[in-house]
Structure 1
């Protein structure tokens, strides 16, 4: 890692940190190198004038996370906004629960299971599709019970589905992971309208957040162990075209988890164990960092009538008693109001 300083430090209060092919601005007075960074874009061979010009535009992130609800989730994940009802759904993976936040700010339990609930999405009939361990299920919200289960895609107990979302064709895509150390055994599965699954991508270590571009032609997905966000052409039948690295998140800022896209093509990513959210612009350049009051943000989604609120789930999972004393609000639900609104997610077609 290389630190650069110049006369610009007097004007901006920042130094440059060069790592992983990117220049990141860090407050000169802070030696941790992780507080309030503002990326200056990925630079392969930038001239000093280019670096100085980017540096001159540095500003501190002004987004302040606000706690929405006291949820104390062990492993909060997969927030989903229902525009028709004004409800926010989210899960507690290890708690086996699906919850919802009402417009009045109350948290209600919708469903509970002995299994681990990972991914969650709305259907075009106002119901929910979700995962239990290594299966997918369709929850009828009117009746309050599961209407249909898929066959499990794996029979080893350490395997479960993690994050997921629906593609433009209304199919449910979710990542299978092994909670044990098994290498690149993770994969992306695509469930059709009959709840039959097929693999669309293999050799992942820890598949996580997924999101489609506004035109539906590009899939963005996360491998948390690789600390990488990838993009791929999304072709007919769920076939992935060329896959390329969109962004590699800084090693000192934890691991990337859930993601959400805004209308400018920017990607917001939660950094588990990094105490922050990062935003990458449509070119894969880091543009914003939001410092969170808890260390383990997990996933995020845009909601509100104008999709201008970014809801953020967090976790207490794996934290020591001492850490929980320092961060008693870990596992709670938060929000910020970004300058750019988000795009709506696709529903599952029943």
Structure 2
């Protein structure tokens, strides 16, 4: 029943919603390994993919590159937009799949709004109707009035401890899209021939239903907090992305702080205003799937949940912090003000 509800909400033929999917990267990887075969070509159109997805494609044992999947990365134009002429050139050679990212990730770039996903999908399908368009939907669910499959994407995937879990899903992820493609992803989660037909629901099914019900409201709270953070830090003289008055594709707010000291001060202030583990002192550290040390402020009730108020960043230039979530805008405002004070005093 939960998967039928997800399919209805996302406007798709089918959905896979399981607590055994451990992250958004895992959900997207199920799509990629389900769809791609040796000799196929995978294309990304926004430059370097998110750190953990990069390891799925190449650079880690068992990556797609080891299975003979060819990878093409299209760099953005100088203004950060997608190079549609290059996309058209690559589409003419009939790649098996194109991966789009709704959020900018740890790159200082804008994510893709639905109208841009629609335009890119239309361009790709016109030149290569059989190419599968997969959208990493993490942080983008319920930010706009529809989801990527409504504008032509074949598959989208994400994490339940981000937007669609409504702040109460304890674990899980989802894949939604065309039925035969969702089944291919499910076969990677379980086994070929079993697919969606098996798998325990554990003791969290009610939370997954309730979280989905609450999700649009809490996403709205997070967006209000992000708009406040953008305006507040811009007034303090910091570069922000997006600006407070720009359309948004996700709940993430980038703030370029310019130094590792300011970055750490920001994250420590966010941690100190968190409802859980406020006494902890975040430091940069090595995490699986990341090339650089990463600092994370996440005093959350659900471990790793980023629909709750969190901030994180790779410890590298331009020392930009990425703020997301907030189950109440009041909490975000309190945390942002504390973070601003800490940064100014650093």
What is the TM-score normalised by the length of structure 1? 0.26
